[in-house]
Structure 1
Amino acid sequence: MSHLRSLRALAAAVTAAAALTSGASAAAEELTYDGATSIAGKIMKEAVPRFEQKSGVKFARVGTSGAGKGLKAALAGEVSVAGVSRALTPDELGRRPHFQIIGYDALGVFVSQKNPVKVLTKAQLKGIYTGKIKNWKEVGGANLPIVACSEPVNSGRATVDAFRATVLDGDPYGAVKELDDASDCVKLIAGNPAALGPATMAYSATGVRAIPLDGIMPSKDDIRAGTYLLSRPLLLVSRARPTGALKQFYDFMLSPEGQQIVAKSFVPVR
């Protein structure tokens, strides 16, 4: 009996030591992120310090290069995880990355509160951004030249690529006013009744409003159902199925605490 108790004690000690080693290993593993600025600014900014406090795992870097560059870095193994605010393309899926939807977003097409236009159709919006429609009076507005704002059109940003694919049907952009980030476009629009531009609904601000597209507003139900034209998923993407510290982060983002962070600016997946 004494021998059996000794064996049990030894087994418990080995199990405890293994658990401590595993925990210490995960805590010692540092993570890195790059990708969509909307995910970095509206989710990672709060999620990272909370996750670090709970898990002991540290993020060495949180980059804001945009979805395209962040995804390339993740697929090349240069960062642990990328934030991508759009669906993956067939070519990207062909590389068999691991991805997890953590929420849903919508691109609002923002106009100034002083702009009298109440609704735009997809065809009108395409006409504006391909340069065929140049004045607000052509879509029921004032006699003002349209200032169509965008992030740099060759930047690989998720907003730019999603807008081109969904609204422009893959056609090239016309002459647009290019600013560094969609948030910069929103600031421009707030002070310029002639301006408009797409940006995540998380960037909604005083002086601007999102205009309905084909009569549909970007409500939570329409975003989740995909009935609003510019709905999009928010993804975490890694080169392979996550293990260790990275799996802990994926699990945290799907936990009630992580989903509450997502819900502050976006539509949570759970």
Structure 2
Amino acid sequence: MKPNPIQGKLAGLSILVVEDGADNQRIFRHFLKMAGADFFIVEDGRSALERALQDESIDLVLMDIQIPEIDGYEVTERLRNAGFTRPIIAVTAHPLQLEKPQGAKAGITDFLAKPIQIETLVQTIIKYTRPEPQAAAPEASPEPAPAVTSAVEIQDSEPFLLSKYHNNQMYRSIIIEFVRSFQQRIEDMVALINDMNWEKLGFALHQMKGAAATYGYPQVSEIAAQMEHTAKEARRDVHAVQTIRKQAEHMRGMGIRMQSGLDGFENRTV
């Protein structure tokens, strides 16, 4: 078994995580715990402000940009104006070249792109909390490839679908949790389609898009991106409603293939 490359790497550090998405919270919780960090998660900008200004033990802040009440840039700017000097790392799904100018103005220390690359996350935290002048700085987290949103379906030929991290022990438990909850999430999305609640559906799909990529299912992430685009179209185009229903059924089928892949892999490893 390969050694865990992040095990204990962040021991002794206190990290404030500002993230409202349940999947990303789960990912941060799983890997920061594995790396040995102490951490606290808040879901909105106002709570982030209060916690950061009151807790002097915080070594670094991981700041999602799209958060409720006050966005990540305004939170950062207020913290800097209040004298907060510790590193603030922005986490965003938007193109970094578009985000960096505004981030620099607000006082962001650095950026990480979603989907989150776990080893890059840990390396970046180490870079700004335990600097070693002669050590090579980690490369910036690569930006995710833009999702294709024009096609309704992706051609699938295999009866099962495995995460690209299926052999990585670090990911095993959260992959299992993601796959086992997947069909219920599809049912929840279908209910939102039936209710024509496009705003809430779009939020759920945005979360699914990033989570699936982080869990190692880029095919699922791409379908979620297509559906997110279609949900926007459905607000003004009745024909898009039928399209998104077909996409949801395709997503349901992918969930079955994911479960088959997980079952088959677990049977081979018993």
TM-score calculated relative to the size of structure 2? 0.26
> Quick one: higher RCO (CA 8 Å, sep 6+), 1 or 2?
1
TM-score calculated relative to the size of structure 1? 0.26
Say which structure is richer in strand.
1
